[in-house]
Amino acid sequence: MTTPSKSCIKLEKWLLRQIGKAIADYNMIGAGDTVMVCVSGGKDSYTLLSCLLALRARAPVDFRIVAMNLDQRQPGFPADVLPAYLEKIGVEYRIVTEDTYSIVKDKIPEGKTTCSLCSRLRRGIIYRTACEIGATRIALGHHRDDILETLFLNMFFGGRIKAMPPKLKSDDGRNVVIRPLAYCSETDIARYARAKAFPIIPCNLCGTQENAQRQQIKAMLREWEAHFPGRIESLATSLRNVTPSHLGDSRLFDFAHLTGNPASGEEDLEGDVPGAQQPSQKSFAPIRVIRVRSPQSPMA
Ligand code: SF4
């Protein structure tokens, strides 16, 4: 076994700190939990499993980890790669084989998007397996950048502010889904996966290209980050600092019954955000209208 480099150890520490913080912030895992970690063979899920195992080794509470992989019978899926890896690292695991690939190909006409049926089928199998193994948590490998891409997809194409929560009750109400990588950047995860030389399984075996709109958003976020370093982190932080009274959703804030209290003497500057630049006094100054008469004007 090769000794990890100093930079890999440092990166792992950084990832563990962020994952530990997300777990604590959202009370994701407690004593006695069984966490079913969904492992697809991609960089994110390998990182999630590896970091959760490292955290469990030093956690003050005891919890069970079961790695789970769904073999969807996609052409060329190397069925032996994950079992070999999971055996090697000595984690309890369950491989579920269900030919969802054929179902999707059968039901969806050629050229139409297959992802929604495919993920619905996959979700059902994951929830069922979680119940079978007695899992109290289903851990998914979505990270900070996935969450932000989803936010912008929903804003740009769905007209709503909605991302991916770090913790949620599953659709069937029987499971709790957690996303411990919610604070981790994709770049750090990719670096970590390279450093650990995880046996990555390609993610395009089903023949479907990744959603073009998501690709565009990803490119937009990357460009922003290149021009304004720190912007992505600021956006991610904003998801944890929501002020319903300064948005416009009457279901979250009772705008209809909002009243003033002249006696209080308190000032409330609309849009007053701590740290945000306020308009200068000048911009509130009354505008002086200067009329200029042009000698050529027919009105002159
Ligand atoms: S990309 Fe392929 S495997 Fe992934 S959800 Fe879409 S159809 Fe399913």
> What is residue 121's predicted lDDT score, i.e. its pLDDT?
95
- Ligand 1 contacts CB of residue 86 (under 6 A): no
The dihedral region occupied by 31, where left means phi > 0, alpha psi between -120 and 50, and beta the remainder, is beta
Sequence-separated contacts (24+) of 56-64 with Cβ below 8 Å = 61/29, 61/30, 61/31, 61/32, 62/31, 62/32, 63/29, 63/30, 63/31, 63/32, 63/33, 63/34, 63/35, 64/33, 64/34, 64/35, 64/92
What are φ and ψ of residue 261, in 5° steps?
-130, 90
Report pLDDT for 293: 44
- Tell me how far apart the alpha carbons of residues 165 and 162 are, in angstroms, rounded to a whole number: 9
Atom of ligand 1 nearest to the CA of 209: 1
CA distances from 290 to 149, 293, 298 (A): 48, 10, 19
Does residue 260 lie within any of the structural domains? no
- Residue nearest to ligand 1 atom 5, measured at CA: 115
* Total number of domains in the chain: 1
Position 242 in a domain: no
Q: Is 211 in the pocket of ligand 1 (CB under 6 A)?
A: no
Which atom of ligand 1 is closest in space to residue 118's alpha carbon? 8
Residue 233 Cα to ligand 1 middle (Å): 28
Residue 300: the pLDDT is 30
Cα of 248 from ligand 1 centre, angstroms: 35
Inter-residue contact 55 to 23 (CB < 8 Å):
yes
Minimum CA distance residue for ligand 1 atom 7: 115
Would residue 152 count as lying in a domain? yes
For residue 169, how many other CB atoms are within 10 A of its CB? 11
Q: What is the CATH number of the domain that holds 149?
A: 3.40.50.620
Per-residue pLDDT tens over the stretch 37-46? 999 999 999 9
Measured by CA distance, the residue closest to atom 2 of ligand 1 is 206
Flag whether 249 is in a domain: no
270 domain-assigned: no
In-domain check, residue 68: yes
Decide if 231 is inside a domain. no
Please state, as a whole number, how many other Cβ atoms lie within 10 Å of the Cβ of residue 117.
15
pLDDT score at 247: 97
Distance 225 CA to ligand 1 centre (A): 28
Cα-atom radius of gyration of the chain, to the nearest Å?
25
Q: Which ligand 1 atom minimizes the distance to the CA of 210?
A: 1
Q: Which atom of ligand 1 has the smallest separation from the CA of 72?
A: 3
Distance 115 CA to ligand 1 centre (A): 5
d(CA 66, CA 135): 8
Contact 118 CB / ligand 1 (< 6 Å): yes
- Low pLDDT (below 70) residues in the chain: 1-2, 209-210, 265-300
Question: Model pTM?
Answer: 0.86
Q: What is the pLDDT, as a whole number, of residue 272?
A: 54
| DSSP code string of 86-107 | HHHHT-EEEEEE--HHHHHHHH
For residue 125, give its domain range. 6-208
Mutate to test the pocket of ligand 1, among 38, 206, 213 (most ligand atoms within 8 A of CB): 206
Distance of CA 263 to the CA centre of its chain: 46
pLDDT at 292: 39
Mutation probe of ligand 1 site: the residue of 44, 118, 210 with most atoms within 8 A of C-beta: 118
Give domain status of residue 300, yes or no.
no
pLDDT at 205: 79
Q: What is the C-alpha separation between 198 and 42, in angstroms, rounded?
A: 9
Residue 119 near ligand 1, beta carbon < 6 Å:
yes
Is the distance from CB of 66 to CB of 34 less than 8 angstroms? yes
